[in-house]
Structure 1
Amino acid sequence: MNKTHIALAIAALMPAAAAMADVTIYGEIRGGYEYNKTYRASTALDSNGKPQGNSQINDWTSRIGFKGNEDLGNGLKAIWQVENRVNIDGSESSGFNTRDSFIGLAGDSWGKFRLGRLSNYANDMMEQVDPGYYSSQSVGGLAYFTRLDDRVNNAVRYDSPNWAGFSFAFLYGTDEARGASTDGSRTNRQTWNLGLSYENSGFFGKYNYQHWGDANKALVSGGRSSNKDWHRFEGGYMANNIYAALGYQQIRGYIDGTAGAYADSKGVLYNKAAFNALTAGSSNLDVSKEVKTRELALTLGYTFGSLTPYFSYVKGYDISVGGSDVNNSGYDQYVLALDYALSKRTEVYTSYGHVKWKGNNVEKENSFGLGLVHRF
């Protein structure tokens, strides 16, 4: 190829290269070996209904994303992102926008506005009490405590700028299904979420509130929109190699009349075996009664060079049904973990988790994990 042809080829490629210049490809690949003895979906139960141990190679929520922006002038930008869940263990296939995916506008002085599939505040701005890596089968992290940290379809969200350490966010999710309730009226199960934050010199305090509409209406086809409202607070200190986070949450909702147990959007709240064993044949399963749960979580860690050990404890208080506590329906969870930084982008991570259910004839749960994490 002569010089003229080379020059023409370069000139032809320049517009395409310029168009791609604002696109960033990013992600995390996370996974490892786990030994799980839990009530999760892929672990087997014996003839007595107790979980059996199972060796697994699991993905730890790997993801890949594409994002970019365009400067529109006067401090205004167009922003976009498409992010996808990746299962490196081949366990399941996912769509192309299973994680936060949106288009929006951002301004230097007024914050950002987005629409699409978006995280609630607890999912992307909190979880300081749960720094670990683990699969959906494991109790090697605080998945019970963070079970409502999720994404909302058909949502709009506004995030404020930072004012001397203070910021807030507001999300609204529409109810496009608008099903029919048993009384013949249409449901309106929209949701809205508010997040507040203050951070200064390593200290932080964050608050999350989410509300679901028509929570006590049962559908004609059965079932119930179980969640009503949810409060969570996290606070602590993260600086000078110290990691300390305290969390408390309260969730209110209604028993699922179809399943005969209290279920939230992430599956059965607390543990189906424990709850059903304690309330079988009881009037507490009246689906008109409100259910309330309360949990307290604490995580401590300290960095020694490349090593950061963590200890987490969660106390799940007894479930309240219709204003009365169901005795021995809570749980205690302990997690010991160690993170070893091989570089700024690659880590070795190991953990052991233990959950003790307080109900009679309900087995303890245990998990061990060892794996790798890489960011790009």
Structure 2
Amino acid sequence: MNKKLIALALAALPAAAMADVTIYGQIRGGYEYNKTYSSTLSKDANGKPQGGSEINDWTSRLGFKGSEDLGNGLKAIWQVESRVNVDGSNSTGFGTRDTFVGLAGDGWGQIRLGRLSNYPNLDMEQVDPGYYSGQSVGGLGMFTRLDDRVNNAVRYDSPTWYGFSYAALWGVDEARAVGLNGSRTNRQFVNIGLSYENAGYFGKYSYASWGDASNVAGSNKDWHRLEAGYNANNIYLAFGYQQIQGYGFGSYYNSALGTKINAAYITGGVSQAVIDTSKLKTKELALTGGYTFGAFTPYFSYAKGYDANFNGSTVNNSGYDQYVLSLDYAVSKRTEVYTSYGHVKWKLPGADNENSFGLGLIHRF
């Protein structure tokens, strides 16, 4: 009898230990017709995109998170979140999204370490509310191309005072590889974010810097992003502006077209070594408006990339204009049907326009 009681007690221990664990996630995917440079579909002999049908994942994820009360207003917090691909493509592994351990306290905020989102990725992107794959231009993926997660990172998030808050992130360069000048690099990443939110109005600013960028070919140097708008009373309005500086064409709007511009400079007599150590500056703005009536929310987004500046001179016809029209239908509190059409017009001679249509389903749990 005692053995049975002991066995029952031991069996109950894992459930008790797991009592504070929350399992959550989103399954998001749909049909897309894409004619884009980033599509996995084949290109023609000149590298131009060819249109076709795709069944794509729209960044599904599965997560586990929890906390433990340590007393005196202090608690331990943790999270393990992973990318899930519902279209059958290769899994990207366990803990590939925000995964961390940390501490949170009443009145002083929280500090975490692990793999963590930069400020634009976690706290901004109001100008890009849609769902789409990395192959699509059915969302503002070019405007948000640097929104990402940082390995080997520490992040502090402040509490909110009268609508104001801030965050600071530091990502360590553990590789310290040999750079262009023969010395060790220090590609540490520093990101500071400021926010104000009140009565539906919001304003957010982010600054990011990548260590000794001039010592790394095709690298980003610094990045400013501003977003502001209003989200209340069924009205959704968001404005965004950003400026990115880097070396070489690593920070250009589109990597495939950036490679072509890079080759054109080489053909014109500029060496790759000079290109890799010359500054590239890009500027973009984005606008999104939406209105909810009943279960329907239509959105219209516009993004503009201005002609880039390379080594102090304008790269003529290097900008773009993007338009996205989308519709979200809330089937329930946790399930949505979403459809969108996106179009990008490139000013670069010989560059094809890009187009995407998407129709899919989103479910949260």
Q: Which TM bucket (shorter chain)? A: over 0.9
Q: 1:54: Cα distance to partner? A: 1.3
Q: Among residues 233, 237, 259, which one is paired with 1:240 in the alignment? A: 233
User: In the alignment, residue 263 of structure 1 is paired with which amino acid?
Assistant: G
Residue pair 2:39, 2:136 contacting (<8 A) in 1 also = no
- Asked if 1:281 is matched to 2:305, the reply is no
Residue 287 (structure 2) aligned to one of 295, 298, 306? 298
Q: Quick one: distance in 2 between partners of 1:160 and 1:62?
A: 28
Q: State whether residues 113 and 154 of structure 2, in contact with CA within 8 Å, keep that contact through their aligned partners in structure 1.
A: yes
Q: Classify the secondary structure of the residue corresponding to 1:271.
A: helix
Structure 2 CA distance for partners of 1:171 and 1:114, relative to 1, 3 Å: same
Residue 21 of structure 1: which of 19, 22, 28 is its match? 19
Percent identical residues: 68
CA-to-partner distance for each residue in 1:325-363, whole Å, 9 max, x for gaps?
111100000000000000000000000000000011110
**Could you tell me how far 1:272 is from its partner in structure 2?**
2.9
Give the letter for the 2:212 counterpart: D
Equivalent position to 1:263, from 250, 257, 266: 250
Aligned to 1:121: 119
Number of residues paired by the alignment? 362
Rounded to whole Å, the distance in 2 between the matches of 1:319 and 1:278 is 15
Where in structure 2 are the equivalents of 1:336-351 lying within 5 Å? Answer: 336-351=325-340
Aligned to 1:228: 221
Answer whether contact 2:193 2:204 (CA < 8 A) is retained. yes
Amino acid paired to 1:25? I
| Partner-residue secondary structure (3-state), 2:11 | helix
- What secondary structure, in the 3-state scheme, does the structure 1 residue paired with 2:15 have? helix
Q: 1:275 Cα shift?
A: 3.3
The reply to whether residue 272 of structure 1 matches residue 258 of structure 2 is yes
1:150 pairs, out of 148, 151, 172, with: 148
Task: Mark the CA change 1:305 to 1:38 in structure 2 (over 3 Å): closer, same or farther.
Answer: same
Q: Which residue type is aligned with residue 327 of structure 1? A: N
Find the partner of 2:311 among 301, 322, 326: 322
**In structure 2, what is the equivalent of residue 35 of structure 1?**
33
Amino acid at match of 2:87: D
Identify unmatched segments of 5+ residues in structure 2: none
CA RMSD of aligned residues (A): 2.0
Which secondary structure does the structure 1 equivalent of 2:12 belong to? helix
- C-alpha displacement of 1:60: 0.2
**Structure-1 separation of matches of 2:321 and 2:256:** 11
The amino acid across from 1:172 in the alignment is: W
Aligned match of 1:168: 166
Equivalent of 1:53 in 48, 51, 54: 51
Q: Does residue 253 of the first structure (1) align with residue 253 of the second (2)? A: no
Task: Letter of the 2:114 partner, please give it.
Answer: G
Label 1:277 to 1:369 Cα distance change in 2 as closer, same or farther (>3 A): farther
TM-aligned CA distance change 1:94 to 1:48, over 3 Å: closer
Q: SS of 1:176's equivalent? A: coil
Q: Secondary structure at the match of 2:345?
A: strand
Structure 2 length-normalised TM: 0.94
Deviation (angstroms), 1:225: 5.2
Deviations 1:29-82 (A, max 9, x none): 000000000001412222343211110000000000000000000100000000
1:263 deviation in Å? Answer: 1.4
Aligned equivalent of 2:298: 309
Aligned mates of 1:270, 1:232 — CA distance in 2: 24
Q: Deviations over 1:168-210 (max 9, x none)?
A: 0000000100111233211111110000000000000000110
Q: How far did 1:91 drift?
A: 1.1
Partners of 1:113 and 1:157 within 8 A in 2: yes
**2:260, 2:232 → 1: CA distance?**
39
Kindly tell me: are residues 278 and 179 of structure 1, through their superposed partners in 2, closer, same or farther at Cα, counting changes over 3 Å? Answer: closer
Q: Secondary structure at the match of 1:141?
A: coil
CA contact (8 A) 2:142 2:254 kept: no
Query: Tell me, which stretches of 5 or more residues in structure 1 are unaligned?
Result: 219-223, 256-261
Match of 2:181 among 169, 180, 183: 183
Q: 1:313 and 1:321, CA in 2 relative to 1: closer, same or farther beyond 3 A?
A: same
Superposed CA offset, 1:122-146 (max 9, x none):
0000000000000110000000000
Name the CA distance, whole Å, in 1 between partners of 2:260 and 2:180. Answer: 29
Q: Which amino acid aligns with 2:37?
A: Y
Q: CA deviation at 1:9?
A: 5.9
Q: Which residue, 313, 317, 334 being the options, matches 2:323?
A: 334
Structure-1-length-normalised TM-score = 0.92
SS at match of 1:140: coil
Q: 1:99 is aligned with what amino acid? A: R
Q: Cα distance 1:169–1:148, how it changes in 2: closer, same or farther (>3 A)?
A: same
CA drift of 1:273 comes to: 6.0
SS in 1 for 2:267: coil
Cα deviation, residue 108, structure 1: 1.1
Match of 2:359 in 1: 370
